[in-house]
Structure 1
Amino acid sequence: MGNKFVVVDLETTGNSPRKGDRIIQIGAVIIEDGKITEKYSSLVNPGRPIPAFIEELTGINDEMVSSAPSFSEIAGEIIELLDEAFFVAHNVLFDLGFLQEELQMAGFEGFYGSVLDTVELARILFPTADSYKLSDIAAKEGLTHDRPHQADSDAYVTGELLILLLEKLESFPVVTIKSLTKLSAGLKSDIYLLLEEILQQKEQVVEEYFGSIEVYRGIALRKKETSETSGKAQDCSFPKKDEEKERLLKNALPSFEVRDGQMEMMNSIYHAFTDQRHALIEAGTGIGKTLAYLVPAAFYSKETQKRVVVSTYTTQLQQQLLIKDLPILRDICGFPIKAILLKGRSHYINLARFEHSLREEDDNYDTTLTKMQILVWLMETNTGDFDELNLSSGGLLFWNKIKNVPVTFLQTKQWDSKDYYLRAQKEAEEANLIITNHSMLLMDLVSEDTSIPEYEFAILDEAHQVEKVAGKYYGRALDYLSIRLMLNQFGQFDHGHLFRRLEKLIEKLDGRTNVKVATSKLNETMINLQYETDELFKAVTLFAKRKKRPNSNSNKIQTMLSQTDNSTEWRALFAVAERFSFLLKDVIIAIEDRLTYIENQKQRLSQEEKSFLEEITILLKEMNRVRNKTREVFLYPSSQEIRWIETDLRSVQNMTTVYGRPIHVADYLRNDFFTKKKSVILTSATLTVNGSFHYIKNELGIGEFQNIEKQIPSPFNYQEQVQLIIPEDLPDIKTVPEIEYIAAITEHIISIAEATGGRMLTLFTSHEMLKKTYELIKESALLDDFALIAQGITAGSRSRLTRNFQRFEKAILFGTSSFWEGIDIPGEDLSCIVIVRLPFSPPDEPLAIAKRELILKQGGNAFNEISLPEAVLRFKQGFGRLVRSSTDRGIIFVFDRRIITTSYGKAFLQSIPTVPVKRATIDQMIQFIYKWL
């Protein structure tokens, strides 16, 4: 490619040239014929002081720029540099905006040539990258970026990135370049100029297809990889002796250490499968739980030709099993293992719908970009699984139009041979191990459209989470935003309103004109339905407000809907729900009538019309689901269910959801799952309370079976590795006002942080208390040199916050519910955990209230049967964050003195490994930290 590219990066005093911010450094590289041919770099005197945070970010200070030229002195050189070149930058509009302003101030016209944005280009060409920040892409692509936030270094790395991107673009087949060119006019930078030039060059030579890519119906796809199976027969019988198993593990893992607990777990699972019994296995941290269940599962499946389903709590754990653990498993077993990761149908792309979408025009920016990302991704993906993609929120809306759903009108067989979902289904039928997650496993139990092939043997990892996930799938939720989004779709169908398009289609098919009258009536019903949606959620919010506890000062409220309520508020709410349900039914029937008529004339429809009708069919299913939920939650509730409202008073109905779910899911799980399976293994590091499985068996409905029960302790030496300290000089949380308690714990957290040098996880049970503590620490300015990372305050997902925490030498991570478990921070990155309160569920949580009432009705003790065991399991999870390997050492501080002052406190201490417990004042604690760490 004969173009000249000038890759520019600027460091500036701030974000806004209009507000007087100026350039302090400019770096540039020139690229010709795919090589960097020239470099340019200059500090610039901005004629104003450099702010402290910019100095910290860039390392450039006032002294360094004092003798540098002003921008007007070098403006001529810059104009010359950019002559007849593409102006390239990472986030080009920022650098271009600044440069234009500075050039005009220096008396030049500015730059009006072609521009390229490497962020935009990277989003298209690396559709699966986690992040498009320059330093993250550089690391992923193996480019050395030694001085981020210095213009010369940033420009050089951006230049190297551009060369990679151009090479990748030039390697694409003609069909892909053609499709990308057609779409590229809607982009923000001039990528279309590059694409047109590449297309011209490619059309002049005869194209050779690449080994890994095939072109089908004008779309380039990655060829399906065929898995090789070894020809010679291998021994697939489970090794009877532990020595034999150890030998297999040592052959595959040179650094393998023998762990008795791991052998015990393997044997227990194999026997549970062969005896066809369910098993509960609590596996302490460090026994190597994953291989301990995968090895017997693989051998049993191979010996008996029965598939085994392995379910985890999160999709990250699923990926980890597939990418990290399965290759090791294959080395251990020495025979081919067919394993597949299976997800719900809507995770996979529907290629027929995507092909059709490429013919549609009038796209917005996000849709255009997403189509381009998907064209590139299809040449790389083996799975067609949407989780691989990094899409914008607008891109997610487009995904809904092309995801894999059962089809009525677009029943074309042309794409069946390439369909990723059908491929995954076929592979699942032939697999020894199917890896899925609890959500899909449970959805499969309650849905008519099952995805997991028949199975009788299963392993549920992180099994303490199953009850929570089951509640979601056996329950229902109605929220304002998704109902409004559903109804808004009526006016958003391309080329006009949904009803109008249906009317035109019927007229075309049989010339009937009386439809117009019915359509205007339908429009009126639709307007009424949208009005009643607002009225319904206003009534819901009003109901929640009126029932709010008088002493509650939180904006987020949860309110029970009682079966026996006969208040004015409830009667008003019932009446609106009834009107909403009737109007929704009218719209559903009207659309169904029209679709039935059209379906009988299906052969006369064009592809575009079929695609439009497909979207209506999906919408209709959604409307039926909403109507059924409305009837179940408001109009005909079951006496076995609990219903409640959650809302945030600051944003009223937009944040309002109404929930309904069974008080207990145990009966459902027993009847739908455990009774139907021959052997289910439940495993986790936290299944017992005080040495007993009683609580978890009750919650999951597995109590009445002849289960195998095993508690396998961790091999770690907790006596040597962990110290548990309870401060003696903190007030009892129940005896002082909350604000006083927060002030006291803040002082302790600051003192502990200074002594440990950070590397500290602080666990709260309420976000409100986390927020106030965080703000008080910030206000004190005593930990200004620490990175304070707080869930719900610092932006980012749980895994991103955890990664950031590990990046900083001195860091404190503040977390609530989800941070009590599932985060893994081994080694010195984490040496101290603070547990602010024992993790009892808030007493006013609707589900907790309903469970308590039920137990009281049955003459039981709600605290001992529900509240305490639930809190103990969560406490065990929090405790388990500290020691993740045999060399980790750390201290746990429990600020809640109830652990030693109450009779039930013993249950917490007896449920964790035996560790030294100390009581100490803050001064004694600090001395101990210095000595011990």
Structure 2
Amino acid sequence: PPRRLRTALIKGRANYLCLRRLAQLIDQTQYDLLRQELRVFAGILCWAARTADGDLDTLTGGTGVDPSMAAQLSSRAEECAGHACSFHRRCFVQKARERALRADLIVANHALVFTEMAATSPIALPRHAQVVFDEAHNLEEAATRFFSVEVSPSRLGTFTRRLAAGHGKRRRGLLERVRRRLAGGALGAGGPHRAAIEEAIDEAARAADTLRKDGTALFRALQCLLPAGGEATRFAFAPDPADPQAPPPAPTAAWRAVRETQAAFRETGAALAAGFRHLIDLIGESQDGELNLLAEETSDISGALQSLTQMLGDLDFVLAGQDAGHVFWVQRAHGPEPLAEAWAAPLQVGPQLARHLYETRRSVILCSATLSVGGQFAYIGERLGLNLVEPARLRTCIAPSPFDYVRQCRLLVPAYLPDPTDPDRSYVTELAALLCQVGTALDGRTLALFTSYDMLRQCARLAGPALEATGIRLLVQGESGSRDLILRTFRKGERHVLLGTHSFWEGVDVVGDALSCVIVARLPFASPGDPVLSARCEQLEQEGKSAFRALALPAAVLRLRQGFGRLIRHRGDRGLVVIADTRILSKNYGGIFRRSLPSPVLDCPDTAAFLSQVA
């Protein structure tokens, strides 16, 4: 008989529970977990005893544990003790890798494939000649995100809390754990190196605290670079291509403050790195050559040193702003304090994909319901570097849809609505009225897709009371719970109207009567204020191309097709798609959108004509 196909699902290391970190958390419970934390911790322990694969997604999704808590338990390459770890034989990461080695077919996410692509030797995936990318329309965004570099208050805070947190009896973290191991006799009753190690721990703790303060000063200085009311601003210090010999402009007062705080941060970081090395040397000298009782702690300190070195290097790279292949920007950081974070992202990912992926595999298959624009692959081919591949290797195919869209779906455009870009017209008010009309007529069962949170919130505020007066509940992204909770509630089909933005345009699968209408509030053009998009547009214009035609328009077409696809998920589904943006009729580019959709547009000249189609 034919051999059964062996399959394996593998994710990035950070998706798996680290048993050693869980053990460390258990060790800390007697010191620093509050009563409410203990209840959460009990749930984690019950899950850890049951889980077969250690996938933290099942912890956060199935038990309600906060993702930030789960992150404290995740496996990290820089902290991995390898064979020195007492949990090595039970390691979930190792088990996943072993399953992958035995498998004929491996399912992985985009980020893991990029991790392997950037490595000089296999890390988690065995060597493979073929790779299939599903949802390949997201490949450029996923690659851009993966190869981006970020230095932020959250990254620094995660690092410093890992070293030391809390006060008094509630002190915790790596340095405190080493201190407690010493007190527990890791060096005997009075090892000759104990005093020196404790002094080195104190110095490292002080340096970590100073690094946190210096980092806060740096992120506050970065915030001063933002324009009044702005969320992000780009910067670059590369020589002007038109005049490479021209001296750079004099730095502004804000940039001088950034450079001063950057220098202080770098100096403190270098001192902390030296302290880590000194601590590692002291522990090494104190241990028996045959038995290192602090082997795992030493591995953790080495991991912290690696993380610190990487962060300092990333900071220098980003704030130098000189790599012509990257876009650099500062953006407002989340949190109560007025702080900002610094980013760098590649202008193009196509050349990297061509060099490290397409050229190193026998075959690469990219599949998605939304790869073509107007029946052509030119846009996605250029964005993903397929234009750099030998033409004889390329094959394209547009498979027919299994759905009869003309029979299953009506596509309506309420032509009487004002242009959503006209500041003098009451578009949001009329859109909210339309939302109420559709929601009432269909007894809920409506998903409205927005391109901005501001418009979503305005519509929720205007439409909510009227809908709820008729017994229809409004589910609002960011207000009605997590994305998963909102979707679970919506799928019950109990008279709901769901308002969502970016993440709801795709990956939403509601089969049957629970979803009868999808409303697209605006054509989904990306925000022109996005630093990466604006830099890529500038690059296209410098090459003599129209950034709108070459980038903004085709990207919006693919996004609209994704939103349209939320409605029909099964051959038995029926319903309406409403595009509440008259530009699809009035603008010369509207025809490109219309030709890319699988249903003909029904133009509704007034409210009566529109409601007659909805009923």
Do they fold alike, i.e. is TM over 0.5?
yes
1:436 aligned residue (108, 125, 136): 108
Matched residue, 2:433: 747
Q: Deviations over 1:70-102 (max 9, x none)?
A: xxxxxxxxxxxxxxxxxxxxxxxxxxxxxxxxx
Q: Distance in 1 between matches of 2:371 and 2:48?
A: 43
Aligned residue among 54, 58, 63 for 1:384: 54
Task: List aligned pairs for 1:248-647, cutoff 5 A.
Answer: 335-351=3-19, 362-363=30-31, 364=33, 365=35, 373=43, 376-377=46-47, 380-390=50-60, 397=69, 400=72, 403=75, 405=77, 411-412=83-84, 415-447=87-119, 450-492=123-165, 493=172, 497=176, 510-511=192-193, 525-546=207-228, 548=229, 557-563=231-237, 566-603=251-288, 609-635=294-320, 637-647=322-332
Give the count of matched residue pairs.
587
Deviation digits for residues 873-931 of structure 1, max 9, x if unmatched?
0000011111112222211111111101111101111111142523331111112222x
Cα distance in structure 2, aligned partners of 1:498 and 1:412: 17
How far off is 1:813 after superposition?
Answer: 0.7
> Gapped runs of 5+ residues in structure 2?
166-171, 239-248
Moved more, 616-625 or 768-777: 616-625
**1:820–1:415 Cα change, 3 Å:** closer
Which residue of structure 2 lines up, in the alignment, with residue 31 of structure 1?
none
The one-letter code matched in structure 2 to 1:482 is R
In structure 2, how many angstroms separate the alpha carbons of the residues matched to 1:700 and 1:733? 32
Give the superposition deviation at 1:400.
3.5
**Of the two structures, which has the highest relative contact order with CA contacts closer than 8 Å and spacing of 6 or more?**
2
1:15-34 → structure 2 map (5 Å cutoff): none
The equivalent of 2:398 in structure 1 is 711
Which amino acid in 2 is paired with 1:461? D
Q: How far apart in 2 are the matches of 1:605 and 1:370?
A: 40
Q: CA separation of 1:502/1:590 partners in 2, compared to 1, >3 Å: closer, same or farther?
A: farther
With over 3 angstroms needed to count, the CA separation of the structure-2 counterparts of 1:603 and 1:887, relative to structure 1, is: same
Q: Give the aligned partner of residue 417 of structure 2.
A: 730
SS where residue 544 of structure 1 aligns?
coil
Q: Distance in 1 between matches of 2:327 and 2:71?
A: 34
Alignment partner, residue 243 of structure 2? none
Select which of 446, 457, 479 maps to 1:793.
479
Q: CA deviation at 1:870?
A: 0.4
Tell me the CA shift for residue 389 of structure 1: 2.5
Distance 2:612 2:80 in 1: 72
1:394–1:847: structure 2 CA closer, same or farther, 3 Å change rule?
A: closer
TM-score by length of 1: 0.58
What is the CA–CA distance in structure 1 between the aligned matches of 2:78 and 2:563, rounded to whole Å?
Answer: 43
**In structure 2, do the counterparts of structure 1 residues 515 and 609 end up closer, same or farther at CA, with 3 Å as the change threshold?**
closer
Match of 2:502 among 799, 811, 817: 817
Match of 1:152 in 2: none
Q: CA deviation at 1:824?
A: 0.7
Rounded Cα–Cα distance in structure 1 between residues aligned with 2:149 and 2:516: 41
**Partner secondary structure for residue 710 of structure 1:** coil
Letter in 2 for 1:733: P
The unaligned stretches of length 5 or more in structure 1 are 1-232, 235-334, 550-556
Shift of 1:635: 3.1
**Matched residue, 1:676:** 360
Instruction: Check whether the contact 2:428–2:458 (CA below 8 A) recurs between aligned residues.
Output: yes
Q: 1:276-319: per-residue Cα shift (whole Å, max 9, x none)? A: xxxxxxxxxxxxxxxxxxxxxxxxxxxxxxxxxxxxxxxxxxxx
For the structure 1 residues 603 and 465, does the alpha-carbon distance in structure 2 shift closer, same or farther, using more than 3 Å as the test?
farther
Equivalent residue letter for 2:424: P
Contact 1:370 1:395 (C-alpha < 8 Å) held by counterparts: no
Asked if 1 retains the 8 angstrom alpha-carbon contact of 2:327 and 2:532, the reply is yes
* TM, length-normalised to structure 2: 0.86
Q: Provide the C-alpha distance between the structure 2 equivalents of 1:929 and 1:395, rounded to a whole number of angstroms.
A: 41
Does the residue aligned with 2:387 lie in a helix, a strand or coil? coil
Does residue 1:697 correspond to 2:366, yes or no? no
Task: Write the distance in 1 (CA, Å) between the matches of 2:443 and 2:298.
Answer: 62
Would the alpha carbon gap of residues 781 and 426 (structure 1) be closer, same or farther in structure 2, given more than 3 Å must change?
A: closer
Q: Pairwise CA RMSD of aligned residues? A: 3.2
% same residue: 24
Using the TM superposition, give the Cα deviation of residue 562 of structure 1 relative to its aligned residue in structure 2, in angstroms. 3.0
Letter in 2 for 1:486: F
Contact 2:412 2:576 in 1 (8 A): yes
Q: Structure 1 residues 522, 396: CA separation in 2 closer, same or farther (over 3 Å shift)?
A: closer
**How far apart in 2 are the matches of 1:503 and 1:413?**
19
- Greater C-alpha radius of gyration: 1
- Taking the aligned partners of 1:871 and 1:446, their CA distance within structure 2 comes to 30
CA distance in 1, matches of 2:332, 2:21: 37
Compared CA separation, residues 852 and 360, structure 1 to 2 (3 A): closer
More displaced 10-residue stretch of structure 1: 617-626 or 415-424: 415-424
Cα–Cα, structure 1 residues 805 and 593, in superposed 2: closer, same or farther, change >3 Å? same
